[in-house]
Structure 1
Amino acid sequence: MVDDAGTGDPPDGLTAAEIGMWQAFRNGSVYDLRSGDPAVDDPHGGHPWGPERSVRARIVCWLLLDGPPALAGRVSSLKLAGVQITDPLDLAGGAVVPYTEMKHCRFEKEVLLPEARFATLRLVDCSIPRVEAARLHTEGDLHLPRCRIHNGIRLTDAHIGTDLLLNQAVVYRDRRSHSITGDGLTVGQDLQAEMMESHGELSLRGAKIGVSLSLRGSRLVNQYGRHALNAPQMTVERTLYLTPAAVGNPPQTSGTTPARGTRVQRFECDGGIRLDDGRFGDAIDFAHARLTLQNDQEISLRRVQTPELRFLGEAPRRGRVVLSGARVVNLIDRASSWPGPGGLQMGGFTYENLVPQGSFPLSRRLDWVMAATAEYNPEPYEKLATVLRNGGEDADAREVLLAKQRRRRETLPLAAKLWGYAQDWTVAYGYRPGRAAVWMAVLWAVSAVAFSRAEHPAIKPGEHPNWNPALFALDLLLPVINLGQDTYWQLNGGWQWFSTALILLGWVLATTVAAGATRLLRRN
């Protein structure tokens, strides 16, 4: 099957469908074999396509790798619609120059593109058994929107010059239970996979995205492993969107957030998400995300760095959310988005500003910290107090530190625990210093009234000041300070016990005030 004349005419041995494709290639026109019946033309349907709509894969490869010259005044390109390609399409290692676009096509066998080079490759609404494209290189886009790929996509170490589009694609798992394997993938601009269905693990380990990664409205399901999205050490220069997409006719997959009032399709993930050690230039956005986990699965953001974390989805009922070591500037969250006790870990999690959406009272914020600390850990309390204080909410910061002391008290032995209760009841560990003044005033008033109702003889008659029950009570109550009253009067019977109790209470109050003042000075 050779074009001996070198004129560009179709060689011998081609079928009628292949001759038509050959001529359309030279003309740069679309070769459309659709019948006009939507049910028949559906590449994902069960209606058979006969030889009148079939071309051999090796003829397609011939055109792309060493095709005939274009007609005068034309640019050769392969544009197919409604065509069935038989046998594997093997372009491994090839350099494809012509523009390539296939719409509504059906591939009987896998598409093999490892180490191939394209300017731009567009496969739109096609049925493909598998796409094998490790180390693929494109100068422009790689488009696979609305394609249905039955045994996974492999894009390991591929380089996409501009955009990678997977909008509304349906991708099923391969034999390793991966739907898309994109480890080491580099995308020059956007990776858009909006309203996509992934049945298996979507693996993007170490991937680099030049602008944003959008999974708006997508559904990730992996019933065969721990992770539905496995993307540790991924770098996204702008934002990772795990948010809703607008649903319209046609669906709106423009890469923008839907306007208010628009019918939307949520991002749903049935399986774990792993973004450990990732770098995100603008934000990670979980707005309205629906996350379904098993008990051993996680939303793992360990050591993630991003200016903004928008944790605004539904709280997972099982599994855990892990923020250990993550660093964010703005934490935008909602009280109902966080899991309960045992479902949150955030040791070493640092954030600079809290931007709650909706009602998020301090009591709920303290529950948030408690949910992350099954055992006492002062770090989350101190971090929250620092952020609140830096935001001018000093009273709330003191309440957080008081909650920390009360939580710590639960871990202490009995004697220390009793001393902790004393500090709490009297001066609230120094975070409510006005309470000590109230206790002192009450004790002083009660004791002054008590001493005024009884006669107390002088120890040395004629060598004593005038009896003043208020000063006498204050002299007993204040340790160290001597007001010149308590050493001149003799107390008998129960008054001795009363004065001893007053002295002890004075020491307790003074000690707790000193401890609280020391804590306040250290904090400031």
Structure 2
Amino acid sequence: MEIDELAEAARTGRELDLTGGAQLDAAVLVELLSRERPPRAVRLRGARITGELDLGAMTIDCPLALEDCVFDGAVRFTETVAKSISMRGSRFGYLRADYLRTSGFLDLARVEVAYLLNIGSAHVGHDLYLGGARLGRTDKTALLALGIEVGGNLHARDLKAEGALVFTDALVSGHFDCSGADVRNPGDRALTADNLQVGTFMGAEGFSAQGVVFLSGARIGAELVFDDAQLSNPDGFALSADRISVAGDLSFRNGFSADGSLRLVQAHVGGRIVFDGQVRAEQHPAFVGDGIYVDGDVEFRREFTTNGEIRLFDGRVGHTLRFAGTSTVPAGGATLELSSLQADVIELLNAEPFQGKVDLIRTRVRDFVDRPESWSPAIGLLGFEYQTLRNDEVSVRQRLSWLRSDGFGYSPAGYDQLAAAYRRLGRVEAARRVQVAKQWRRRRVLNPVGKLWNWLLYVTVGYGYRTWLAGLWLVVLVALGTTLFGGAFRSDMRASAPVGPAFQPVAYALDVLVPIVDLGQKKAWYPQGGAQVWSWVFTGAGWVLTTAVVAGLTNALKRD
């Protein structure tokens, strides 16, 4: 092709369609774009460009469109300044556009690059199009976009890459949409976008990554969406997003699947986090959210399943942390690690128990909602603080069995928390039952003498919470004493003086039973033989009963 024909088309901005195998020397394009008077636009379609097209460090003052072309050599836009560039549908062995600056868009949709597409530190004034691109790999990197700035949106839907996509320190003013993309770099990073700044990040609608999706330190101005995404890194983390900040929601829904762990340590989510997919993790916990801060809800919905641990150690949830539905039960010995978590509400509403330990050590929550069907065989409740138990249908007996399942053994604070919650609900008798159960459980940490005294306090005054038992014991013992001293052992009773009050079995039984009572019978009559033995027994029983009553009334038994 002659340069004059191309120049005439460029002068008017007309597209020149060379589909069919027409060749054009790259030097012709360089010469045309180097002219002092720029053309209106250079638009080529379907040409085969021979030689290396090096437009580096040039200023291109017209729109440039080289679409559906085949380039035999490398293409360079290093430090180029241009209005807009479209290479849509073209094929390259290598394309380098680092430090490129465009006032308009950069269109690389449907391009095919055999080795490396380098647009690092480029500045694109409007949108960047990468949708449908087919990218190869050089040293496991298919696309290098370190520090790129995009003034509009970054479109990468249905992109295919054999190698990593690197967007470290990138700034995208609008949204970053890689829905439906397929990125393969097994055993390494598939998508690296640490410190990315973007409005919305969409990795949905079949987005697939073999390797780590790395978003540590990213700043997402609206939503981060992984709905229907397929992430795979079986030996480690499928998603690593430490210190990420998401102003809106973080979504893993509609068939989301991860073969590998999800890591959001010290992340901040301004909206909510929603899970209803599947996470398979062998080497690490399924979800690691240590120090995470979520302003809204965190929901593990009915469709969510995992075989690994869910960990939110030292996290903060502004509203509700919810586990609901039969499919949310972690299988294969998984646990919930919620130690030191703070939340407004925690809901454990599975229809089947968690298979591993549920750890609520030092967790603080306003409302706790659960159901016995969801309880784990082992649970850690040491230091667990809550204000209200919202499921009042759980019986006191069931709540006490819940406390007994604490893997740390006897913890008086757990019983005090439960009793306080019942008192706030106005259930005073339930609170008393809990306090009695606390003292009974305390027997396990006492020596033999302490256990005996603990048992006596239980049967006599209910540890001070059932002092009416003492009155019942007194009635029983007085009745027994009346029967013994006025019947079988009446003949063993002797008067202390020739003249004195007549013997009254009821009054005598009260005299020997109650130390502070003096009805005159004990002074006027003294026992012998069997009556003397029973007198000692009743005196000892009276002291035990009196001591227990005094201990209960002075609140001594309510200390841990």
TM-score range, shorter chain: 0.7 to 0.9
| Contiguous gaps of at least 5 residues in structure 2 | 1-25, 50-64, 71-82, 91-108, 185-189
* 1:133-212 matched pairs, under 5 angstroms: 133-138=193-198, 140-145=199-204, 146-173=206-233, 177-194=236-253, 195-212=255-272
Q: Indicate conservation of the 8 Å contact 1:423/1:429, yes or no.
A: yes
- Cα distance in 1 for partners of 2:554, 2:150 equals 75
- Decide which moves more: 203-212 or 483-492: 483-492
Distance apart, 1:426 and its partner CA: 2.1
Distance, in Å, in 2 between the alignment partners of 1:435 and 1:183 is: 60
Structure 2: distance between partners of 1:101 and 1:434 = 78
Name the CA distance, whole Å, in 2 between partners of 1:132 and 1:269: 25
Matches for 1:394-413 after TM superposition, within 5 Å: 394-413=428-447
Tell me the equivalent position of 2:382: 347
Compute the displacement of 1:177 (Å): 1.3
- Residues 133-162 of structure 1: CA deviation (Å, up to 9, x unaligned): 111111x11111020111121101111111
Mapped contact 1:32–1:81 kept (Cα < 8 A):
no
2:115 and 2:470 map into 1 onto residues whose CA distance is 90
Offset at residue 377 of structure 1 (A): 2.3
The alignment's C-alpha RMSD in Å is 3.3
- 1:114 to 2:150 alignment: no
The one-letter code sitting in structure 1 at the alignment partner of 2:308 is G
State the alpha-carbon separation in 1 of the partners of residues 39 and 411 from structure 2.
79
Alignment partner of 2:346 out of 283, 292, 309: 309
Distance 1:234 1:14, change over 3 A: farther
Instruction: Give the alignment's TM-score, normalised by structure 2.
Output: 0.75
Unaligned runs of 5+ in 1: 34-51, 70-75, 245-265
SS in 1 for 2:483: helix
Q: Distance in 1 between matches of 2:456 and 2:369?
A: 38
Whether the 8 Å contact between 1:57 and 1:89 is mirrored in structure 2 is: no
One-letter identity of the residue aligned with 2:449: A
C-alpha offsets along residues 157-198 of structure 1, whole Å, 9 cap, x if unaligned? Answer: 111111111111010117x61101101111121111213211
Matched positions, count = 464
Deviation, structure 1 residue 317: 5.4
Cα distance, 1:416 vs. partner? 2.2
Question: In the alignment, residue 347 of structure 1 is paired with which amino acid?
Answer: L
In structure 2, distance between residues paired with 1:382 and 1:428? 17
1:325 match: secondary structure: coil
Task: Describe how 1:260-275 pairs up with structure 2 within 5 A.
Answer: 266-275=303-312
Of 368, 371, 376 in structure 2, the residue corresponding to residue 331 of structure 1 is: 368
1:95 and 2:149 equivalent?
yes
Give runs of aligned pairs for residues 207-222 of structure 1, distance below 5 A.
Answer: 207-215=267-275, 217-222=276-281
- Distance in 2, Cα, partners of 1:86 & 1:290: 39
CA displacement at 1:511 relative to structure 2: 1.4
Q: Is it true that 1:235 corresponds to 2:289 in the alignment?
A: no
Alignment partner of 1:504 is 2:540: yes
Report whether the alignment pairs 1:451 with 2:499. Answer: no
Question: Are residues 80 and 412 of structure 1, via their aligned partners in 2, closer, same or farther at CA, if it must alter by over 3 Å?
Answer: closer
In the TM superposition, what is the alpha-carbon distance from 1:9 to its structure 2 partner? 2.3
Larger radius of gyration: 2
Q: TM-score, normalised by structure 1?
A: 0.80
Structure 2 letter corresponding to 1:108: E
Matched, 1:472 2:508: yes
Relative to its length, the structure with more strand (as a share) is 2
Cα distance in structure 2, aligned partners of 1:64 and 1:123: 20
1:279 equivalenced with 2:316 (yes/no): yes
1:16-59 deviation line (CA, Å, top 9, x unaligned): 9961599xxx9999x899xxxxxxxxxxxxxxxxxx96533899
| Local SS of the residue matching 1:103 | coil
State the Cα deviation string for residues 451-504 of structure 1 (Å, max 9, x = none): 333354421112x22432222221111112212221001322211112221111
Query: Partner of 2:211: helix, strand, or coil?
Result: coil
